[in-house]
Amino acid sequence: MEPAHLVIAPLLTALVTAILTLATRNYLNVQRAVSALGGLGYLVGVGVLYQAIQADADGVIVYQLSDWGAPFGITLVADALAVFMLGLAALVSLAALAYSVRFISDYGQRVSYHPLYHLMMVGVTGSFLTGDIFNLFVWFEVMLMSSYVLVAFYSGKEHTRAALTYVVLNLLGSAVMLLAIGGLYATTGTLNMADMAQRLADPAAFGIDPAPVLGLSAILFTVFALKAGIAPFQFWVPPAYRAAPAPVAAMLAGVVKKVGVYAIIRLYFTIFAAATLPAGLSLPGLSGTSFLDFFGPVLFIMATASILLGGFGAVGRKTVDGMLAYSSIGQVGFILLPLAVAATVPEVRTLGIAAALIYSLNHGFAKALLFLASGIIERMTGTLEFANLGGLTERAPVLSGGFFLGALALIGIPPLSGFFGKLLVFDTAARAGADAALAVALVGAILTIAYFSRAWNRGFWGEPVEILERPSTTLTVAVVALALGVVVLGIGFDPVMEAANAAANAALDRAGYIDAVAPEVVA
Amino acid sequence: MTQFALAAVLGLLFALGTFLVLRRDIVRVVWGVTIISQSANVYLVTMGGLSGSVPILSHGAHGEVGAVTDPLVQALVLTAIVIGFGTTAFALVLTYRVHQEHGTIDLFELERGGDT
């Protein structure tokens, strides 16, 4: 088999699993086995793809659908950045899947849960692999369509209401995305990302006016910010995460959000960074001539707003899942902050992107762990309100240990993965001499400590509450597995850092990306 | 001339869609979203440039060969329309479900019944 075919391996695995789980829906145990095997197969597929990229001379493997060369056909590109994100998705989704098998009711699983879950993974995988902005829209829709149903899964009162907000907002986001993509096609004459980067690098030769491209890329940015739940587009996050079943909330926070982050890194650091700003453009805070110099301050403002809004919001929450949802807004700010610094200061660009990736990885693991743990707590005590919780350390020591590790990882205690995430964020800000970014990160870190210690005090210590039901051990095992993941990623940090560095270099290696895709130039 | 007509229609459609999205009635909100995404489709066609004849070159070959409409935008719009169908259907089903759960499709009353 040619290495190019490996690119579609994860995509096909997820799709075939989705279809098989639909076909075996009347045989409960078979369906669950197929679903779990599919999750494992996905991880293997990503692993094989990673190996292939390591073995490849350029580190980029391109699959041209039906052998139509770029820019005419649809291109799938697997490079270090895409595979890094795929690895995160594969690991988190496997834990959430194992958890779902015991957590979701038999009826729910039989009706639709497994096919939807795997179709969501198809969308996530496609978004990471696509090399074409219109297909990015299509994969987003595939992912969102399944996530709409999963948010509304319990279809109780607050679930339908949260799903309605989520659906309407995302439909509007999709329309805006379509507008931006249409505009970009009209101004640059291409949809292929590599081709677009090539054309934007030499706008005069292709008759491209950079001013509309800047505006359209800013419109497109709002859509990714909406999907990633970055302030000021964060308001849909808490109700949707609270309404979704715990493993789905874990996936939404751990993986689906990262698709927005990935799109920002890929498009703004690889594609649009090629262009130069129109001459004579003067905006406050604008110093350079690259598109990134424009997006740097924008990213910084949004990151600051996210960190503060999420942090203060989380401190004031009355429920565990509400706190986790707000914390998720704040943590996305932490992912965005090094990107903002990296966009403004070219010297720390690789480090900044690597920091954002490591933080994404840490947040993916830790937040998924915490959401899964909150699901078990609700099973055990029947409530997630801090007022009615207490003494969980005595009632469920293993679960509490897992929750504690997840909280420590987000706070950033060594040797957990979160320590390196936070360290790199601070390092990026310090090396760039960005005092403001450093200050924001410090405030954010203190807020993180505040809301987690509050949660710990009120939920896990004190008078033990009555336990309604002992949840099955499988649920706790999924939490423990993720907790181990957080520890292992921290202790064996070297390979993780290498992978993140390779991914950051891949994101910035525009020439390599264009060469690998090799779009024919048609003026 | 066509450009002006299309631009005016696009503006009207977006205005109408926005107006409907801001209504209290959920069905109207869904209609508004549908109209906005349809106007995005019309915009996509407009962005492809209007000049030229049918995108199929060889068969029949009416009009000027060489000046053809960009076929890519039409393919894009087809894809977007199909996705739009799916999402609209889902939004309508969800509206029905909201009505079943809350006994109302008035957004103000939904908000009042909320606990957040």
What CA–CA distance (Å, rounded) separates B42 from B12? 12
- The token pair that represents A302 in the structure block: 């949004």
| Cβ-based burial of B98 (10 A; exposed 0-12, middle 13-18, buried ≥19) | buried
DSSP B15: H
User: Which residue in chain B has the smallest CA separation from A137?
Assistant: B80
Residue A116 pLDDT more than 90?
A: yes
How far apart are alpha carbons B106 and B116 in whole angstroms?
17
The pLDDT score that the predictor gives to residue A257 is 94
Contacts of A441 (CB under 8 A, 6+ apart): A307, A334, A337, A422, A425, A426, A429
Chain B contact set for A148 (CB, 8 A): 90, 94
| pLDDT at B67 (0 to 100) | 64
Yes or no: say if A390 and A310 are a contact pair by the CB < 8 Å rule.
Answer: no
Cβ separation of A155 and B47 shorter than 8 Å? no
Task: Give me the mean pLDDT over the A72-94 stretch.
Answer: 94
pLDDT for the residue B64: 52
B63 touches B48 (CB < 8 A): no
Q: Which of B33, B39, B102 sits opposite A171 (nearest CB)?
A: B33
Q: Using only the alpha carbons of chain B, give its radius of gyration.
A: 20
Q: Which of B44, B115, B116 sits opposite A178 (nearest CB)?
A: B44
Chain A, residues 172-191, CB within 8 A of chain B, namely 172, 174-176, 178-179, 181-183, 185-186, 191
Q: What is the pLDDT of residues B60-80, one digit of tens each?
A: 445 455 567 778 888 899 999
Are B87 and A145 a contacting pair at CB < 8 A? yes
Q: Are A137 and A284 in contact (CB under 8 A)?
A: no
Phi and psi dihedrals of B25, rounded to 5?
A: -80, 125
CA angle A198, A203, A204 (to 5 degrees): 135
A271-292 in b/e form (b: 16+ CB < 10 A) is bbbbbbbeeeeeeeeeeeebbb
The answer to whether residue A314 scores a pLDDT higher than 70 is yes
Task: Considering only the beta carbons, identify the residue of A141, A149, A158 that sits closest to B83.
Answer: A141
Confidence of residue A285 (pLDDT cuts 50, 70, 90): low
Contacts of A157 in chain B (CB under 8 A): 101-102, 113
Chain B partners within 8 Å of A134 (Cβ)? 76, 79
Contact by Cβ (8 Å): A304, A340: no
Distances (CA, A) of B111 to A99, A150, A244, B28, B108: 33, 22, 19, 17, 5
- What average pLDDT does range A82-92 have in this prediction? 96
Q: Which residue of A has its CA nearest to B22?
A: A168
Residues 6 or more apart from A487 whose CB is under 8 A from it?
A405, A415, A416, A417
pLDDT, residue A196, reads: 93
Chain A nearest-CA residue for B115: A158
Query: Which of the residues B10, B47, B106 would you substitute to probe the A interface, choosing the one with the greatest number of A C-beta atoms within 10 Å?
Result: B47
Strand partners, A408: none
Residue in chain A lying closest to B103 (CA): A157
Select the residue of A164, A179, A183 nearest B98 (Cβ to Cβ).
A164
CA A170 distance to own-chain centroid: 16
Which residues fall within 8 angstroms of residue A470, CB to CB, at 6 or more apart? A380
- Among all chains, which residue has been given the structure tokens 């070219």? A346
Residue B112 has pLDDT above 90, yes or no: no
Chain mean position to CA A258: 1
Position A234 pLDDT exceeds 80: yes
* Distance spanning both ends of chain A, measured CA to CA: 35
Span B82-109, mean pLDDT? 91
CB nearest B40 (choices: A145, A157, A178): A178
Mean of the per-residue pLDDT values of chain B: 83
The single residue listed with the structure tokens 């088999």 is A1
Neighbouring CB atoms inside 10 A of A359's CB total: 29
What CA–CA distances, in Å, run from A136 to A7, A11, A50, A81, A423? 16, 14, 22, 16, 32
Which residue in chain A is spatially nearest to B41 when comparing CA positions?
A178
DSSP A78: E
Query: In this predicted model, what pLDDT tens digit does every residue of A235-261 receive, in sequence order?
Result: 999 999 999 999 999 999 999 999 999
Amino acid (one-letter) located at A500: A
Tokens of A431: 């090396």
B109–chain A Cβ distance below 8 A for any pair: no
- The residue type of A264 is I
Which residues of chain B lie closer than 8 angstroms to A167, CB-CB?
Answer: 87, 90-91, 94
CB within 8 Å: B72 and A191? yes
Please give the DSSP secondary-structure letter assigned to residue A255: I
Q: Are A161 and A246 spatial neighbours (Cβ–Cβ below 8 Å)?
A: no
Cα gap A518→B65, rounded to integer Å? 30
| A159-174 per-position pLDDT tens digit | 999 999 999 999 999 9
What pLDDT, on the 0 to 100 scale, is given for residue B56? Answer: 60
> Could B73 and A141 be called an inter-chain contact, meaning their C-beta atoms sit closer than 8 Å?
no
The first and second tokens of residue A191, run together, are 């949809």
Q: Do A148 and B49 touch (CB under 8 A)?
A: no
Q: Is residue A520 pLDDT above 60, yes or no? A: yes
Neighbouring-strand partners of residue A63: A76
Three-class DSSP labels, chain B: CHHHHHHHHHHHHHHHHHHHHCCCEHHHHHHHHHHHHHHHHHHHHHHCCCCCECCCCCCCCCCCCCCECCHHHHHHHHHHHHHHHHHHHHHHHHHHHHHHHHCCCEHHHHHHCCCC
For range A503-508, the mean pLDDT: 94
Tell me whether residue A327 is exposed, middle or buried, using C-beta atoms within 10 angstroms of its C-beta: 0 to 12, 13 to 18, 19 or more: buried
Mean pLDDT of A302-306: 96
Q: What is the DSSP letter of A269?
A: I
Average pLDDT estimate for B46-50: 76
Cα A330–Cα A332–Cα A337 angle in degrees, nearest 5: 95
Among A61-75, A159-173, A214-228, B9-23, which is the least confidently predicted range? Answer: A61-75
Among residues A315, A321, A458, the alpha carbon closest in space to that of A390 is found at A458
Distance from C-alpha of A337 to C-alpha of A326, rounded to nearest angstrom: 17
Q: CA–CA separation, A493 vs A354, rounded Å?
A: 13
Using an 8 Å CB-CB cutoff, list chain A residues near B102: 157, 160-161
Q: Averaged over A19-46, what is the pLDDT?
A: 95
> Which residues, at least 6 apart from A457, have a Cβ–Cβ distance to it below 8 Å?
none
Torsion of CA A491, A497, A498, A504, to 10 degrees: 160
Give B62 to chain A, closest Cα distance, Å: 25
Chain A interface, mutation test: which of B18, B25, B33, B82, most A Cβ atoms within 10 Å?
B33
d(CA A144, CA A53): 29
Q: Which residues of B touch A155 (CB under 8 A)?
A: 97, 101
Q: Whole-angstrom Cα distance, residue A241 to residue A153?
A: 12
Question: What was the ipTM of the complex prediction?
Answer: 0.90
Cβ-based neighbour number of residue A199 at 10 Å: 25
| Residues of B in Cβ contact (< 8 Å) with A145 | 86-87, 90
Taking an 8 Å cut-off on Cβ atoms, the answer to whether A168 and B48 are in contact is no
Residue A391, pLDDT score:
86
- The amino acid at residue B47 is M
Chain B residues within 8 A of A168 when measuring between CB atoms: 21, 29-30, 33, 91
Q: Percent helix, strand and coil across chain B, each rounded to 5?
A: 70, 5, 30
Say which of B26, B86, B97 has its CB closest to residue A145: B86
- Answer whether B36 touches A (CB < 8 Å): yes
Q: A181 to chain B: nearest residue by CA?
A: B44
Q: What pLDDT is stored for residue B61 in this prediction? A: 47
Minimal-distance CA residue of chain A relative to B89: A145
The confidence score (pLDDT) of residue A276 equals 86
Look over chain A and give the mean of its residue pLDDT values, rounded to a whole number: 92
pLDDT band at A94 (very low <50, low <70, confident <90, very high): very high
Tell me, what's the pLDDT at A461?
87
pLDDT at B113: 64
* pLDDT class of A466 with cuts at 50, 70, 90: confident
Q: Token pair for residue B92?
A: 């309508």
- The answer for residues whose C-beta is within 8 angstroms of residue A183's C-beta and 6 or more apart is A212, A216, A219, B47
> A36 pLDDT exceeds 90?
yes
* Least confident piece of the model among A106-115, B15-24, B44-53: B44-53
Backbone angles phi, psi at B5, to 5 degrees: -60, -45
Give the residue from chain A lying closest to B79, CA to CA.
A138
B103 near A CB under 8 A: no
Residue A453 confidence (pLDDT): 93
Q: Residues A361-379: what's their mean pLDDT?
A: 95
pLDDT at B116: 44
Segment A70-96 shows an average pLDDT of 93
- For position A146, what pLDDT does the model report? 94
* φ, ψ for residue A486, nearest 5 deg: -60, -40
